[in-house]
Amino acid sequence: MLYTSTRNRDLRINSAKAIVSGISKDGGLFVPEKLPYISLANLELLSNMNYIERASFILSKFLTDFTDNDILECVNKAYSKEKFSSDDIAPIVKLDDSKFVLELWHGPTCAFKDMALQLLPHLLTTSMKKEAGLKNVKILVATSGDTGKAALEGFKNVNGTSILVFYPENGVSDMQKLQMVTQDGKNVDVCSIKGNFDDAQSGVKKIFTDKELCDQLNENGVLLSSANSINWGRLVPQIVYYFSAYCDMLKNGHLSDGELVNIVVPTGNFGNILAAYYAKKMGLPVKKFICASNSNNVLTDFINTGRYDKNRKFYSTISPSMDILISSNLERLLFHLYNENDEKICNLYGELVNQGSFEVCEEVKMKLQDEFYGEFCDDIHTKKTIKSVFDKYKYLIDPHTAVAFNVYDKYVMDSKDNTKTIIASTASPYKFVKDVLDSIGEFADGNIFEQLGELSKITRTEIPKPISNLNNKNVRFNKVIFKDEMRSYLLNNTVCETI
Ligand SMILES: *Cc1c(COP(=O)(O)O)cnc(C)c1O
C-alpha cells in the first residue's frame, strides 16, 4: 500500500515515510493510493475478536511496510489495560432502539484524542527505525487544551522521543491546565506563554520552518515533528473504532449482516468524521454521516451551500475542541470527491489562502450532500441537550457529545430516518465538570475537586480515575515565557531529555 499527496498525485511513498513526514512538501496531505476492502465475511470474523485484534487486522491493511509483529507490538502498547478504563477500549452503549453511543473517552486523558495519540508514538518510532538515520524525535505541540495533554500521555516515557508542549497562559480551562502541569514522565516538558493560542501556534510554526534550527537538530539525529491531526498516523487508528463499533453491534444482535447505520460525529478539524468516511469506502455499511458543529459552523455552511468561507466571527464555546475555522482534514475528503484531481485541490486551497474561501462545483456538492448532513448547535442548546439526555436516559454527556445529540435530533426531524445510529462520544463529562453541572441545573461552586464530587453524587456516575487522581499530584511545570522566547526555550531546556 502506497501513499500519495492531495496536491501531487505523482508522489508515491510508503506508510513509514508518510508518518515520519507528517505533511507533504507540496503542502498537501498524505492519502492512501487505494483503500483496502473489508468484506461482510471479514466483519463477521472481526466480530469475534477483541479490540487489539481488530486494530491489528485493520492497520495491517494500511501499514504494509510494517511486519505483523511491528503492528502487534504497537497496538499492545497503545491499548493496554493499564491505560484504558474499559476492556472494550471503545465500548458501545445502547440508549434506545436507534441511538448507540460509541464512547471514545476511556483513555488516560478522558478524551477521544487518546484513541490515536496512544498509538501514534509507537507508529512513529517504528517508522523512524525503518527510515535510516533517524534515532530521536522531538515532538513540539501548541495546544488550546485537549491535544497537548493527550500527546503528553502518548509520548511519555516512549524510547527515542521527547515532547515539549506550549499552551497559552490564560487560554485553557482549569482542568486542562491541571492535567498538563502535573504531567509525569521523564521525557516531557510543558511551558506556558504570555499570549493566546494563535501566538503559541505561530511560534511553533516559526520553529518548524526555521531551517537552520532543523538542520542543526537533524545533524544530531533528531527529527522535529508535530503529532498534529493531519498526520496519517493519527487518522488510521480512528478508522478502527468505527469497524469495532459495528462489530460489537453485530455481536450483540443489534444489527443484522450488512444492515446500514448512520454515524454522527461532533466535528472540528474533520479528522474523526473523515475516519468514518474511510471506513465506509472500505466496505462498512453506512447510510449517512451527520456532521455536527458548534457555533463555529463553517462546515455546516459548506455542506449546505458548497461554499467554504473562513471569513467569519470566531466563537469561544463550551465545546472548545471544536472551535476551529479551518478544518484541515477536509482537504482529504475533497481530494476523493474530486476523483483524486490534485490540480483542483491546489486551486481550491490556493483560493483559501488568498481570499479565505472557495466553492466546489455542483457535481461535488451533490456528492457531498448525498453522503453528509450538516447542522450546528449553539451553547444554550448544547446545555439544554445535556439536561434533556440526562433526564430521558440517565446518561451523562459532555458538551462536545451534546452537540452531536442535538444535531442528530435535527436530522431525524428533517429526514424522518430511523436507521440505527452510532453517535461518537468524544469526551468524559467530568472533563467539563463546571459546564455540565451548570447544564443539569446545579450551581458549580467550590474548587474543581468539590465540583467533581458534586457531579458524581448527583448523577451517580463515577469520576474517571485519571481525573480524580489529579488531586494527589504535584505541579511539575510552572514556567511562563514571552512568545518570542520559544525558540531559545526549545534549544536551552534540559528538563526534557530524549530517553
Ligand atoms: C478534537 C475533539 C473533537 C473534534 O474532532 P476532529 O477530529 O478535530 O473533528 C471533538 N470533541 C473532542 C472532545 C475533541 O477533543
DSSP letters for 125-194: HHHHHHSTT--EEEEEEE-SSHHHHHHHHHHTT-TTEEEEEEEETTSS-HHHHHHHHT---TTEEEEEEE
What pLDDT is attached to residue 89? 97
Q: Cβ(173) to ligand 1 under 6 A?
A: no
Mean per-residue pLDDT over the chain, rounded: 94
- Band of pLDDT at residue 499, cut at 50, 70 and 90: low
Helix, strand and coil in the chain, % to nearest 5: 50, 15, 35
Average pLDDT over residues 330-343: 98
What is residue 359's predicted lDDT score, i.e. its pLDDT?
98
Structure-block grid coordinates of residue 21: 513526514
The response to whether residue 234 sits with its C-beta less than 6 Å from ligand 1 reads no
For the chain, percent of residues with pLDDT exceeding 70: 99
For residue 218, name the pLDDT band (cuts at 50, 70, 90). confident
Contact by Cβ (8 Å): 111, 180: no
Ordered DSSP codes for 345-359: HHHHHHHHHHHSEEE
Torsional sign, CA 308, 367, 275, 259:
positive
Given a contact cutoff of 8 angstroms between Cβ atoms, the answer to whether 184 and 156 are in contact is yes
CA atoms of 165 and 323, how far apart (whole Å): 20
Tell me the C-alpha distance between 144 and 168, whole Å: 7
Cell matching residue 349: 486551497
pTM for this prediction: 0.95
End-to-end CA distance of the chain: 32
If one residue of 101, 105, 112 were mutated to test the ligand 1 pocket, choosing by the most ligand atoms within 8 A of its CB, it would be 112
pLDDT of 497 strictly over 60 = no
Partnered with residue 376 across adjacent β-strands are 293
pLDDT band at 174 (very low <50, low <70, confident <90, very high): confident
Q: How far apart are CA 204 and CA 22, in angstroms?
A: 15
Q: Which atom of ligand 1 is nearest to the CA of 431?
A: 13
C-beta 113 within 6 A of ligand 1: yes
Average pLDDT over residues 230-237: 94
The yes-or-no verdict on residue 133 having pLDDT over 80 is no
What is residue 497's three-state secondary structure? coil
Closest ligand 1 atom to 267 CA: 9
Residues in contact with 20: Cβ distance below 8 Å, sequence separation at least 6, in sequence order: 124, 127, 128, 131, 134, 223, 225
Check if 321 has its Cβ closer than 6 Å to any atom of ligand 1.
yes
Q: Whose alpha carbon is nearest atom 4 of ligand 1?
A: 268
Q: Which amino acid does the sequence have at 257?
A: D
DSSP string, 227-283: --TTSHHHHHHHHHHHHHHHHHHHHTTSS-TT--EEEEEE-SSSHHHHHHHHHHHTT
**Among 149, 382, 426, which residue has the most ligand 1 atoms within 8 Å of its CB, making it the best to mutate?**
426
| Ligand 1 contact, 112 CB (< 6 A) | yes
Ligand 1: centre distance to CA 388 (Å): 22
Is the pLDDT assigned to residue 46 strictly greater than 50? yes
CA gap 293, 297 in Å, rounded: 5
Q: For ligand 1, say whether the CB of 91 is within 6 Å of any of its atoms.
A: no
The response to whether residue 296 sits with its C-beta less than 6 Å from ligand 1 reads no
Interval 149-155 mean pLDDT: 96
- Position 495 scores a pLDDT of 47
**Does the pLDDT of residue 132 top 80, yes or no?**
no
pLDDT at 30 over 90: yes
Query: CA 183, CA 410: separation in Å to the nearest integer?
Result: 40
pLDDT of 172 over the 80 cut: yes
CB 374 within 8 A of CB 293: yes
CA distance 458 to 263: 30
Determine if ligand 1 sits within 6 Å of the CB of residue 427: yes
- Which mutation among 400, 405, 436 tests ligand 1's pocket best, with the greatest number of atoms within 8 A of CB? 400
pLDDT at 498: 59
Q: Is 168 in the pocket of ligand 1 (CB under 6 A)?
A: no
| 148 Cβ closer than 6 Å to some ligand 1 atom | no
In total, the chain counts a number of residues equal to 499
pLDDT in tens, 106-129: 999 999 999 999 999 999 999 998
Spatial CA neighbour of 427 closest among 445, 459, 404: 404
- Which of 54-63, 132-141, 407-416, 451-460 shows the lowest mean pLDDT across its residues? 132-141
What sign does the CA torsion over 282, 334, 323, 140 have? positive
Q: Ligand 1: does its nearest atom lie under 6 Å from the Cβ of 146?
A: yes
Choose the residue to mutate in 105, 293, 322, 328 for probing ligand 1, maximizing ligand atoms within 8 Å of C-beta: 322
Is 332 or 200 the better-scoring residue by pLDDT? Answer: 332
What is the pLDDT averaged over residues 87-98?
Answer: 97
Q: In this structure, is the dihedral angle defined by the CA atoms of residues 102, 104, 105 and 108, taken in order, positive or negative?
A: positive
Taking the centre of ligand 1 as the mean of its atom positions, its distance from the CA of residue 72, in whole angstroms, is 27
Mean pLDDT of 199-221: 86
Q: Is pLDDT of 496 > 60?
A: no
Report CA(69)–ligand 1 centroid distance (Å): 31
pLDDT surpassing 90 at residue 222: no
The residue type found at 234 is R
4-38 as b/e: b if 16+ CB within 10 A: bbbbbbebebbbbbbbbbbbbeebbbbbbeebbeb
